Amino acid sequence: MNRLIVLDSAPVGLITNPKATQLALQCQRWLLSLLQSGDLAIVPEIVDYEIRRELLRANKQSGIGKLDQLKSELIYLPITTEVMIQAAELWSQVRQQGKPTADDKALDGDVILAAQAMSVTNNAREVIVATSNPKHLSLFVDARDWQDI
């Protein structure tokens, strides 16, 4: 059965980057090869938020257009109440274990992303979070550097 690849902000930022940098092109080719092999790619709402807020701040309309296009072409995963409850539980657990993933006052997008990824694991498919920094996310889910997937 094909994998579900949950995209973190690093690959989404590269994929939607209007500048054709070497790394951006490499990431775009990576995504295309995943899709051609039958894997499904997911853009979580928390990632859309993280990318979009910076694009809006910098008034990068081209990037916003590419982000909107990507969301329409892939699976978009909205944040639900259940996801936020799970994220709060994850946030609490790692702090109780002495392994916080962000400052205590931070929203902590990593736990929200992890909870979103966990919400699709019932599909009996392998679920992998594609990121550029798997350290924090791998406390909760299978998280790998996107280049290693």
CATH superfamily assigned to domain 4-148: 5'-nuclease (3.40.50.1010)
Which strands make up the sheet holding 75-77, listed edge to edge? 75-77, 40-44, 4-7, 127-131, 143-145
Query: In whole angstroms, what is the distance from residue 132 CA to residue 149 CA?
Result: 11
Domain assignments of the chain as residue spans, ordered by start: 4-148
Instruction: Write out pLDDT tens, residues 12-65.
Output: 999 999 888 999 999 999 999 999 999 999 999 999 999 999 999 999 999 999
Judge if pTM exceeds 0.85.
Answer: yes
Share of the chain above pLDDT 90, in %: 82
With a cut of 80, say whether residue 145 has pLDDT above it. Answer: yes
- 52 and 67 in contact (C-beta within 8 Å)? yes
Judged against a pLDDT cut of 70, whether residue 89 lies above it is answered with yes
